[in-house]
Structure 1
Amino acid sequence: LATTHEEPLTALMTEYIHSYKDLPRYAYQFQTKFRNELRAKSGIMRSREFVMKDLYSFSRSEAEFREFYEECAGAYKKIFDRAGIGERTFRTFASGGSFSKFSDEFQTICDAGEDTIYVHKEKGLAVNKEVYSDEVLNELDMKKEDLKEEKAIEVGNIFPLGTRFSEALGLNYTDEKGAARPVVMGSYGIGPGRLMGAIVEVLSDEKGLVWPKEVAPFPVHIVLISGGNKDVVAEADRLYELLKEHDMEALYDDRDLRAGEKFADADLIGIPTRLVVSEKTLAEGGVEVVSRQTGAATLVPESAIIENLLAK
């Protein structure tokens, strides 16, 4: 059970790619993978079963391939930015194996990371320890004194594959002049599970998780502090239904527990925005809106709650 599928995708594309008019093409999948991981540990960070997004590009030329390669690198950067770890994630030069001199990894600085990288903050780039040498630094126009050693987690990678698979498996196309040419390929991967693990490691605090809005299981966490008051319960129920009407999923904590326990659990779960409904907030004419990231609390009038949430 392969972790990536260069060979079967190449063989499959022989049925669809014949002419230069059929290119470029891109195939991707989200699939559960299995790996005989000898050092399985750290939960979803390194496991034998995991979900992976793998993408394969098929291009007419090296130039066409490189254009998409850079577009994909930019798209990955946007993903990590939206996931809240962009400032700590660096495009990292790593070994290209038997395919090319370098491949590109996306490494997120984290004390829990297993990889060692050397980061050039000004360039926004890094070099993996496995290829770190004076020769490589000269080629990349980097100086040792400008680099900082960091531990990091690999959250994505992109590989130039060249024509190795296409030549071996007969994936050729006919160009404009009628000549047969091998297809130029690339491979691109992100492990959503490992990405989630990296987000947890990087963004958590002493109280618990701090989910970015884009990957949070819910955008809003309603915490009901009723004190046995049925009017407070009714208001919290109404707020929950109001959010559903505006396509906002909410985690609703209506358990019969003390306020301190509920707030501690809310911090532990880490939903971005907490809405507290209690006798006190109703008496003051609103709902308490609390940011999990900053801890800032604001009393928002009930009539303005949807507008307030949409602005976040």
Structure 2
Amino acid sequence: MRLSKLVGKRVKEAPKDAQSASHIFLMRGGYIRPVSTGIYTLLPLAKRMTTKIENIIREEMEAVDCQEIMMPVVNPAEIWQESGRYDSVDQSLLRFKDRNQKDMVLAMTHEEAVCHMARTEITSYKQLPASVYQIQTKYRDEARARAGLIRVREFTMKDAYSFHDSEKCLSDYYDRVHQAYERIFERVGLSDCVSIESDAGMIGGSLSHEFMAISDIGEDTLFLSPDRQYKANREIATAKLVYKKEEAQELEKVHTPTQKTIEEVSKFLGVAESDTAKAVFYASASIEDKVILCIIRGDLEVNETKLGNHLSCGDLVAANDEQILAAGSVPGFAAPMGLNKDKVIIVADPSALESSNLVVGANEAAYHYKNFNWERDFDGEADIIDVATVREGDPCPVTGEPLEMLKGIEVGNIFQLGTKYSDSMGVRYLDKNGKAQIPTMGCYGIGVGRALASVCEQRNDKWGPVWPISIAPYQVHVIALTGGQPEIKEEAEELYKNLQKEGIEVIFDDRDPKPGFAFNDADLIGVPLRLIISKKSMAQDSYEFKTRDGSEKELIPKAEAFEFIVNRVKAELNKFK
């Protein structure tokens, strides 16, 4: 490709709404252009790169016996109604009517569509396990698109789905896909990508993992042990906390006239926040006529995902004063004792049970208790589960070492779905006895554009992206600094054509640019290997070779340059196979 003909201009200024390095450089380098909020056109550079990412994905998915299909973006609402998600998913699912007033959706994921296909195509135990994938457009009506391709409304995703005759079969295949994902993200050039156990969320299922590209721009909070033996998303992370155990002191009621918050009470009584217990009331539409009281040590925060998962409700909200009073408590002075058992579900974190002599509310305005001890003073029933939000520096549950808190971009996820969709959508196969059975399922996703942006987030400098050769738009960038000498341009033209004949992907700056202009553009394009032909280099009968990351720079004799760059391209590609 001649740079003079490349569609996609380089620009000096970053977009005003840019929130990340990838957003800045993909816009400045002429990779993407916005059409609307969270909707982008991929220009030739980006399209070449996403095609390479997709081909890597294809190779690895087919290596685990996954067959490519293509399902429609537009789905009839009726298949989403069968699964129950038509009504349960929020406004991120775009619903509309066609010209015949039939309810339709733009699919944000394809569990329903693949089950619809499986009802007719996967009907015998002899076909199992079966796995299919597609690389297809998705649409999610995001409330807040951000950071360029990191969070968009329309995107390309690889989504795969597998069907099995047993949990063991699913588990074995899940492990194979997990390994395939590790290879995919290594091959696309993510320098730091970790797999973490995660909450299944809207998709559902019994087990899920997210693949996180470590980056400060990430929206997910991760906790890792120093040796990375332990890795978890904040939503499910646990810590091996140490609790203060002392001889129980006498329960004492104390006057706390206006002190309601943990901070206010601890200061007023002269105790540490870790010597208090926090009482947090929640309500849920799925739990009628009751509130949920969560008791946790005062210096900790409730992890609402853990709590919601335990209670099988994803709609937790703060209870209002009327609901708290009906449960027999007083807002701001709540305690787990003496409540109306018909109006409350009590969930206690181990930190509240295993800590001694805590300050708790007295269920009476302006009063708290000192020296509360759970085993002695609690008079009801409670679910005892870990609902604490992990903090940086908390002890790792595996190694005991302080946990490191990092940010990550979710570039892929895998789920063991079980029969959540296959059952509700009537997918059945006949076993060896001719009896109808429900297959258990797995699903596996990768965001293609997000993977591209994530590589840019991890591989850039102040001048632009530093692409790995496996997905770079071109492998070699040839720059002719002619200085008004036509023979230099002719030399570069010949090299360009010979490299193309050899199958090397080359972008050729044929514009007779000034050096600063040429190098600025080359940095924004980010091709990993660079050959510069100039008056200075030709005076030594050589070409100048540079790597985009700046680690190498040398003069290569002209007679050796062609073979040198061909071999170097092959060597660099081999690193990603």
Following superposition of structure 1 onto structure 2, how do residues 43-192 of structure 1 map, counting pairs within 5 Å? 43-86=148-191, 88-97=192-201, 99-123=204-228, 125-134=230-239, 135=386, 142-143=398-399, 145-192=401-448
Give me the CA root mean square deviation: 2.0
Bigger share in helix: 1
Larger mean CA deviation between 253-262 and 267-276 belongs to: 253-262
Instruction: Letter of the 2:123 partner, please give it.
Output: H
CA-to-aligned-CA distance 1:139-182 (integer Å, 9 cap, x gap) = x9535634210011111000111011111122121222333221
Larger mean CA deviation between 91-100 and 218-227 belongs to: 91-100
Instruction: Letter of the 2:483 partner, please give it.
Output: G
TM-score of the pair, normalised by structure 2: 0.51
Residue of structure 1 equivalent to 2:65: none
Instruction: Letter of the 2:401 partner, please give it.
Output: E
Residue of structure 2 equivalent to 1:249: 505
Contact kept? 2:196, 2:231, Cα under 8 Å: yes
458, 464, 481: which is aligned to 1:202? 458
Closer, same or farther: CA 52–125 of 1 in aligned 2, 3 Å: farther
Larger mean CA deviation between 71-80 and 142-151 belongs to: 142-151
Instruction: Letter of the 1:94 partner, please give it.
Output: S
Instruction: Letter of the 2:410 partner, please give it.
Output: E
TM-score of the pair, normalised by structure 1: 0.93
Which ranges in structure 1 are unaligned for 5 or more consecutive residues?
A: none
Contact kept? 2:159, 2:444, Cα under 8 Å: yes
Residue of structure 2 equivalent to 1:225: 481
Contact kept? 1:91, 1:125, Cα under 8 Å: no
Following superposition of structure 1 onto structure 2, how do residues 253-272 of structure 1 map, counting pairs within 5 Å? 253-272=509-528
131, 136, 157: which is aligned to 1:31? 136
Residue of structure 2 equivalent to 1:18: 123
Instruction: Tell me the distance in 2 between the aligned counterparts of 1:43 and 1:63.
Output: 40
Instruction: Tell me the distance in 1 between the aligned counterparts of 2:233 and 2:113.
Output: 30
Residue of structure 1 equivalent to 2:471: 215
| 1:274 counterpart SS class | strand
Instruction: Letter of the 2:188 partner, please give it.
Output: A
Larger mean CA deviation between 238-247 and 61-70 belongs to: 61-70
| 2:108 counterpart SS class | coil
Contact kept? 1:16, 1:22, Cα under 8 Å: no
Instruction: Tell me the distance in 1 between the aligned counterparts of 2:235 and 2:505.
Output: 45
Aligned residues: 309
Instruction: Tell me the distance in 1 between the aligned counterparts of 2:166 and 2:134.
Output: 24
Larger mean CA deviation between 185-194 and 95-104 belongs to: 95-104
CA-to-aligned-CA distance 1:181-224 (integer Å, 9 cap, x gap) = 21111111000111111111111111211001111111111111
Bigger share in strand: 1
Task: Give the % identical residues.
Answer: 39
Residue of structure 2 equivalent to 1:309: 569
Instruction: Letter of the 2:466 partner, please give it.
Output: V
Larger radius of gyration: 2
State the Cα distance separating 1:250 from its structure 2 match: 0.8
State the Cα distance separating 1:252 from its structure 2 match: 0.7
Which ranges in structure 2 are unaligned for 5 or more consecutive residues?
A: 1-105, 240-385, 391-395, 573-577
